[in-house]
Structure 1
């Protein structure tokens, strides 16, 4: 990822931590919650890999990210169309995967100076098609983070209880953990779009 190295490493830590937490949530709990975690884990880990500063490591080809997350977007859209699980949840995952495709294609496109990937000024210029897509995605993730962050935990949900299942080995998994992971991933996506 281009942009300040500190921001890149903070995104790596945030998204990698969220991806790892989602993998941990896969170990136990109701099937519906495990399916949700299975959709969120690759997104968090993929975002972490994509956020690694280019000064530290040569990133994988952007086309690889575009192809991978294109498949994820198609899968999530198929699940939403089939009516399995929560339709809005699948649609949100599809939007996130398409945002990753958009960022990967932005990294692959040559800039006016002939270098690849650094489009901060062009991305935020909403007059072109790329800038307009970026602006729409920024607005979507800003609203998503604010909406998810202020949504209260249902009344009567025990903070340390087993509403969200158990985190392997019988350790209680707090019900607000999934919402916190989603908020963190939305914030990470917003930041990545902002600095792409």
Structure 2
């Protein structure tokens, strides 16, 4: 992606760590948790690779079309699976955003916008609004609820890979990463 190297490497680290945690979540005993974690691991690692600063590595021209194909497939899968749950619609938007960014990088691997004119293209602006709202909602969901009664028994606590607040934090970090990447498109 375009932009300074230091924030780019921080974004790479954030996305790679999130992808690694999502891989660990794939060991869950819950089938839906495993599938969501697999989708999120693909997104985390894909974002990490895409966020590598251009000053460190300039990928060959075939990389961006390959990204579009991989994440296009992920978008089709998310569309198919969205019949069973609305969370998969977010995966669809995320995969479509990755296809969009890959297409922008294909058309202009070294410059900012390849769309002509000034300002933010309409699709980029819409995606920025979506992910900003998603980050805000995800952040609010992580806030502790005062007076919430929880079980203190260790036996009833979920395994660390099945904890819903860690999955939400994972999704929040990927939403923040997507915002950062869209700002540099």
User: TM-score normalized by structure 1?
Assistant: 0.82
Structural mapping, 1:25-174, within 5 Å: 25-59=25-59, 61-80=63-82, 83-84=83-84, 86=85, 88-110=86-108, 116-119=109-112, 125-126=119-120, 131-151=121-141, 152=143, 155-157=148-150, 165-167=158-160, 173-174=162-163
RMSD (Å) for aligned C-alpha atoms: 2.5
- Please give the per-residue CA displacement for 1:135-170, whole angstroms capped at 9, x wherever unaligned: 000000000000010014674455996888424xxx
- Please give the per-residue CA displacement for 1:35-60, whole angstroms capped at 9, x wherever unaligned: 21111110000000000111112225
- Runs of at least 5 residues in structure 1 that lack an aligned partner in the other structure: 111-115
Q: Would you say the 8 A contact 1:73–1:93 is kept in 2?
A: yes
| In structure 2, distance between residues paired with 1:44 and 1:164 | 27
CA 157–13 in structure 1, closer or farther in 2 if over 3 Å, else same: farther
CA 65–119 in structure 1, closer or farther in 2 if over 3 Å, else same: same
CA 174–79 in structure 1, closer or farther in 2 if over 3 Å, else same: closer
User: TM-score normalized by structure 2?
Assistant: 0.86
Q: Report the 3-state secondary structure (helix = DSSP H, G, I; strand = E; otherwise coil) of the residue aligned with 1:59.
A: coil
After TM superposition, give the deviation of residue 15 of structure 1 in Å: 0.4
After TM superposition, give the deviation of residue 79 of structure 1 in Å: 1.0
| In structure 2, distance between residues paired with 1:43 and 1:132 | 23
Count of residue correspondences:
179
Q: Would you say the 8 A contact 1:33–1:164 is kept in 2?
A: no
Range with greater deviation from structure 2 (155-164 or 54-63): 155-164
Partner of 1:113: none
Q: Would you say the 8 A contact 2:151–2:157 is kept in 1?
A: no
CA 35–104 in structure 1, closer or farther in 2 if over 3 Å, else same: same
Q: Would you say the 8 A contact 1:39–1:93 is kept in 2?
A: yes
